[in-house]
Structure 1
């Protein structure tokens, strides 16, 4: 006896349940973004770096009379926003990605059918969600401390925040996706302290030599901080934006080429 029909003829759509098939791209991205966001917000160490430390800096440097600024909160607030964003995008993601690779979590997520773009997109969405939470909390505290932004700088601030998320998340994925977890843990925190220190120095040290300032302004953390400080005052720092974009393009290009979902010994 021979079969005269195809499988589709014998078993029309809906015959078997469940009927497994890939989810719509937006559903995969939304699901991955939700998971990544929940994991990020529940991680105590990451919240210490991305929120607790910036809040402490904002309050201390605005109230304690040791910062040689006429109106400290006007410059300290945007600086702490930049530090918070940098912490979420760079340090938080680099360490999370590195340990996910170490324990095989990324490999298993890939084996489940989640494409690379959905995984990376979910991590970017997690950083965006964290930045929104940071902005709300820091803005409330800043307003209570006397911060008064210039409305004309709103668009500039949005641009710098968006490019900052892109740049520091790219740097985090590059670091966490190419090196071992122990190296990333040490290097990520060290670079974060250096970036934060450079931002703080350029804001509070008004007598910083111009040559030193010119060099520090080439760092992405300083470019982001300067851009947010200027936006808070109603101006647009084009030079800082270009520095951020260069760092972001280079980091994202290298991350795409060198990113590995597993450690070398897997």
Structure 2
């Protein structure tokens, strides 16, 4: 009888649904987030179409160039910075803001995925989208004459990762502290300001002295300077590294402190 009961208990245990391993849950959520991002026409426009327009515009027009540097090189640096900000900041702010308003964030805390899995999936989705952006925009740049250097591309990787953390944290902060309608307005407005006047399209050195100092302290200004150093033979600034790291750390701490998982 004891053996029969044991076998019955084992059979019931085998039939009981169990959550998938944590890594599989995170990867599944990352895949979902990536598909949502790339299947949304508005987000796809922000992620690829607008950076491509920046690339062509800065290549053709005498704007944002560095002396002695090919126009396509400075255009590519600004384009990659635009792509990073569009996905890490704007897209994630909007998508997370809608998830928060629709109760997804409240619900996810009760699932095996959990809040940490949700955030990890978002990070992986963002990095995956970045890879696709670099490939697509890089191919366009190659067609118009860009000839990248391997050392510069390698140096870009840590800058890109720090920038992803910095702007991702800022996007989450906007999404987690404002109402959804405000998230849409603020994230799009800040995106335009950072690209057009925040040191991305135009180097801080092209601004008047007072404004250039302010631009240097912005995360967009630091990112723009570092990517120009990597891809357009610009001057590498330790100060820009410190500024971008400070925004990454400060933004992360601010999200931990003030991010609200519900819209109430």
Q: In the TM superposition, what whole-angstrom CA distance separates every residue of 1:81-103 from its partner, at most 9, and x where no partner exists?
A: 00111010101111111111111
Verify the 8 A CA contact 2:217 2:243 in the aligned structure 1. Answer: yes
2:230 match: 231
1:114 match: 113
What RMSD, in angstroms, separates the aligned Cα atoms of the two structures?
A: 2.4
CA distance in 1, matches of 2:263, 2:208: 44
CA distance in 2, matches of 1:138, 1:22: 39
Q: In the TM superposition, what whole-angstrom CA distance separates every residue of 1:29-60 from its partner, at most 9, and x where no partner exists?
A: 11111111111111111111121011011112
Closer/same/farther in 2, CA of residues 228 and 15 from structure 1, 3 Å limit: same
1:33 match: 30
Closer/same/farther in 2, CA of residues 27 and 66 from structure 1, 3 Å limit: closer
1:18 match: 15
Unaligned runs of 5+ in 2: none
Closer/same/farther in 2, CA of residues 115 and 230 from structure 1, 3 Å limit: same
Verify the 8 A CA contact 2:81 2:200 in the aligned structure 1. Answer: no
Verify the 8 A CA contact 1:61 1:67 in the aligned structure 2. Answer: yes
TM-score, scaled to structure 1: 0.89
The counterpart of 2:59, out of the listed 46, 52, 62, is 62
Q: In the TM superposition, what whole-angstrom CA distance separates every residue of 1:209-241 from its partner, at most 9, and x where no partner exists?
A: 333212101111111111111011456433222
CA distance in 1, matches of 2:94, 2:238: 31
| Counterparts of residues 78-117 of structure 1 (less than 5 Å) | 78-117=77-116
Size of the alignment, in residue pairs?
Answer: 260
Q: In the TM superposition, what whole-angstrom CA distance separates every residue of 1:148-207 from its partner, at most 9, and x where no partner exists?
A: 22332233200111111111111111110121101111111111111111234533x864
Verify the 8 A CA contact 2:55 2:79 in the aligned structure 1. Answer: yes
TM-score, scaled to structure 2: 0.89
Q: In the TM superposition, what whole-angstrom CA distance separates every residue of 1:85-133 from its partner, at most 9, and x where no partner exists?
A: 1010101111111111111122223333321111001111111111111
Instruction: Tell me which moved more, 72-81 or 152-161.
Output: 152-161
Closer/same/farther in 2, CA of residues 60 and 157 from structure 1, 3 Å limit: same
2:263 match: 263
2:50 match: 53
Instruction: Tell me which moved more, 131-140 or 107-116.
Output: 107-116
The counterpart of 1:44, out of the listed 31, 41, 45, is 41
Closer/same/farther in 2, CA of residues 158 and 67 from structure 1, 3 Å limit: closer
2:251 match: 251
